[in-house]
């Protein structure tokens, strides 16, 4: 739970290293965890204790949209996991998120994608059928 907590002597640290993995499972399938600001409504990727837009600490966990489209991508040809496709995915709720993209063919900017979980964590893959769930 992401709330700003206080110890007896002052603010307590936010153990954000524990929430680097954004995976969560809901009634409608897998989703990525985000944070919504209760004051200004701004959505953020991941767990937050404060809204970077309005600085309110009245923030609450929420599910990010599980669908979006590819804003841009690259196929990284170097490193231990090469070839590895990164993309910035524009989620339907207005959040842009870096993602590991797994597609059958070469990615296309603008292609619809949805989140899925696999043994590596979370990935985005082609969303072929409207309303389809993983």
Buried b (16+ CB within 10 A) or exposed e, 19-46: eeebeeeeeeebbbbbbbbeeeebbbbb
Nearest-angstrom CA–CA distance, 123 and 57? 30
Site for another protein contains 5 (CB under 8 A): no
Tokens of 103: 């597609």
> Closest approach of Cβ 57 to another protein, in Å?
17
Residues between 43 and 102 with contacts to another protein, criterion CB under 8 A: 44-46, 52, 71-79, 81, 84, 86-88, 90-91, 94-98, 100
Interacting residue ranges for another protein, rule: CB under 8 A: 17, 20, 44-46, 52, 71-79, 81, 84, 86-88, 90-91, 94-98, 100, 109
């Amino acid at each position: 739970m992401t709330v700003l907590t206080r110890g007896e002597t002052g603010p307590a640290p936010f153990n954000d290293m524990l929430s680097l993995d954004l995976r969560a499972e809901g009634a409608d399938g897998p989703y990525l965890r985000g944070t919504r600001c209760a004051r200004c409504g701004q959505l953020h990727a991941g767990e937050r204790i404060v809204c970077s837009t309005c600085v309110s600490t009245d923030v609450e966990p929420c599910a990010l949209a599980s669908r979006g489209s590819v804003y841009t991508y690259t196929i990284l040809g170097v490193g231990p996991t090469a070839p590895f496709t990164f993309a910035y995915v524009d989620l339907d709720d207005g959040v842009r998120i870096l993602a590991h993209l797994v597609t059958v063919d070469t990615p296309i900017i603008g292609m619809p994608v949805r989140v899925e979980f696999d043994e590596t964590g979370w990935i985005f893959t082609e969303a072929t059928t409207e309303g389809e769930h993983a």
